[in-house]
Amino acid sequence: MSSMSKPFLVAGFIAALSWSNFALADTSCSDSIGATDAQALADQCVMVSPATHPPCNPLNSCDMIKDEIIRGCDYIKNYDGETPDFCLTAEQFSAADPAPAPTLDPERASFETPSKNIYCEIYTSTDNPGGASVSCEINQFTPSFDKAYALSTDPDNFACQPDGLSRYELSFNSEKGQNNCPMFDLYDPINGGTIVADIIKLDYGTTIEKTGISCKSEKTGLTCKNTAGHGFSLSKAKQKIF
């Protein structure tokens, strides 16, 4: 088998998909990372899978497709075949050390995803002395909630539209993640947002933690949850509270 001259996805993306936990693992790969990238991943799966009916379908989870890619790459290597470039990238990535956790301010820290599409503040306060809270805003997204739900978050705010549900919040003792149409933008200190001197870039595969709250950045999006397992997952393609 010859090497791919034009890999379907950039090497770093395949590496991350091959060795990361997916924030939206209970959805199809197309829902998790978008139809185009999911199909590209499925195409790679078909290229290396030794199975007669491989699970290389974008409607399957990315984890399932990824596992079949790894199995297929191992099969080719065991029979002295010439592996595609993404197999070599996955092998190299597996030997890399995980990214270190960011150093946090004891009271408040601001961070954003590498794409700069999601910005968050994780903090402790006198209102919640027993643990932390986190507030995130997503800039560009396809809304996952309808008009009725948007109004149910704040019945008095009739201007609230699904595409305005950009803020997601969670406390260490929350029973579910929350979302709302914010009155001001966390990015906009002039109109009420917080002025932030140092914003941490939360690299893919990295988790940021404060008492009772953890947020993990992945290629598939950002997931924040408390110790009880409640929280939210954000990506450009889908938003979820649980």
Residue range 28-72, pLDDT digits in tens:
888 878 788 888 888 889 988 888 888 999 899 888 888 888 888
Query: Token digits for 169?
Result: 């919040």
Residue range 94-149, pLDDT digits in tens:
444 545 555 555 567 889 999 989 999 888 865 556 789 999 999 999 999 998 99
| SS3 category, 165 | coil
Q: What is the CA radius of gyration of the chain?
A: 20
- Residue 212: left (phi > 0), alpha (psi -120 to 50), or beta? left
| pTM for this predicted structure | 0.56
